[in-house]
Amino acid sequence: MFKVPVLLILYNRIEETHTVFQVLRTVQPTQLYVAGDGPVPETPLDRKRVYQTRSVIQPEWPCQLHTFWQEKHLGKPHMIDAALKWFFHEVPEGIVLFEDTVPSYDFFPYCEELLDRYRNNERIFTIGGYYFHHKSRKRYNKRIKKGKSSYYFSAYATTWGFATWRDRWKDFSLSMDTYKSEDFPNIVTPYMRKQRQRGYWIRRFNSMKKLNAIYWDYRLNLHVWAHQGLCISPYLNLVTNIGFKKQSKRKIRRLRRNAYPIMPLVHPDKEHEKQDYTADRYMFKHIYKRAYRYLFRDWLKGILPNKNQ
């Protein structure tokens, strides 16, 4: 039995939810929180898939099951925000999964150990499970043989399976109203040594503010940086995003990684508990500047008016 509370956020992916639930069935969390977005209005097929997805959640082990079902469709960012507020109203810390993020079994003790280790270190905001490098298993084995740590400290919050604490989340908001455009350079600069990186993030945040638009992953990074925080990422991938298998763009599909066992963990020395600029430069170049650029562009197309209509 696994004692750390787990939140699973759903929408309408029946097969993917079933895959994630098979992992949870083996891990057997004693406290399972499940939140689900409502169907798109006047869309019978979507309504059917939403309720079929919810029906997958039937724990067969001793478990306190808590549900937070929405009747109205909130959309991804608002659903995530509502689900996390509900979750952390009930528990002080926990693990967050999505219907298309399949964790390895070691992801759970990894999160449990680091939640305990960094509970009182308020600079650490999230414990991520995703590692972006290809061939991470071979690279990781070499690290461990040299006595190096199992994880590092990053400016970037990886959200395809993560753990965090209530007090880090308490003042998170999707709104950008509390920020002015002149705030962004001061927030971004301590984390970015290259002008190209600083410019990228300042432009993105200004676009989000100007358009009153919500891009959840980017908004979380801003929340962490505004609080001078850091995020933990493993040097070995622990979560597979199976939602990418249907993506038409190859650059996005390439973000999918196999998940591997990581326990037992090797912890860094205190003097190494600082941002890994080298890893973050790689993350910026290969994830944000490339694959995420397509996600951000497609998201903007969805919120901007179509001039041809």
Q: What angle do CA 249, 128, 206 make, to 5 degrees?
A: 65
Domains of the chain (ranges; CATH) run 1-99 (3.40.50.11100), 102-309 (3.90.550)
Residues 269, 275, 278, 284, CA torsion sign:
positive
pLDDT at 150: 96
pLDDT at 213: 82
Q: Residue with structure tokens 């998940």?
A: 259
Q: Are 243 and 255 in contact (CB under 8 A)?
A: no
Distances (CA, A) of 20 to 37, 46, 98, 275: 17, 20, 8, 31
The backbone torsions φ and ψ at residue 174, rounded to the nearest 5 degrees and listed phi first, read -75, -20
pLDDT at 295: 57
**In the chain, at which residue ranges do the beta strands (DSSP E only) sit?**
6-10, 31-36, 64-69, 93-98, 101-103, 124-128, 151-154, 162-165, 230-234, 239-241
> What angle separates helix 216-226 from helix 76-90, to the nearest 10 degrees?
50
- Average pLDDT of each block of 10 consecutive residues along the chain (309 residues)? 97 96 98 97 96 98 98 94 98 97 97 98 97 80 92 96 96 94 97 95 93 89 97 96 63 64 95 93 85 55 44
Please give the model's pTM, rounded to 2 decimal places: 0.92
Q: What angle do CA 48, 49, 54 make, to 5 degrees?
A: 105
Q: Is 2 exposed, middle or buried (0-12, 13-18, 19+ CB in 10 A)?
A: buried
